[in-house]
């Protein structure tokens, strides 16, 4: 029966289209998952970067404080030697 054969081939084409559609959805989901992972990694890297910047600022602040203390000690030393001279 040619009509039955025709229906059978239409059914096969329909199955193929459904399979392609499912594959595309799967690929789309994978791409989405990769994107989410990439964003997570990006956030983590930004977090590390912020932490490093904070540490760097703290070190600079300590350095400034040490310089002030050093300058003060130098002034005290100068004053002491001037007084004793």
pLDDT of residue 17: 95
Provide the H-helix boundaries in 1-85: 2-84
How many C-beta atoms lie closer than 10 Å to residue 35's C-beta? 10
pLDDT of residue 33: 97
pLDDT of residue 36: 97
Separation CA 55–CA 33 (nearest Å): 33
pTM of the model: 0.55
pLDDT of residue 64: 96
Residue 78 structure tokens = 């100068």
User: In a structure prediction context, what are the per-residue pLDDT tens digits for the chain, which is 85 residues long?
Assistant: 777 888 888 888 999 999 999 999 999 999 999 999 999 999 999 999 999 999 999 999 999 999 999 999 999 999 998 888 7
């Amino acid at each position: 029966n040619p009509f039955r054969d025709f229906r059978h081939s239409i059914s096969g084409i329909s199955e193929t289209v459904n399979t392609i559609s499912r594959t595309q959805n799967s690929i789309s989901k994978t791409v989405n998952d990769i994107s989410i992972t990439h964003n997570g990694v990006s956030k983590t890297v930004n977090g590390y970067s912020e932490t490093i910047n904070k540490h760097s600022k703290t070190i600079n602040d300590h350095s400034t404080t040490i310089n002030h203390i050093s300058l003060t000690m130098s002034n005290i030393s100068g004053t002491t030697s001037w007084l004793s001279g």
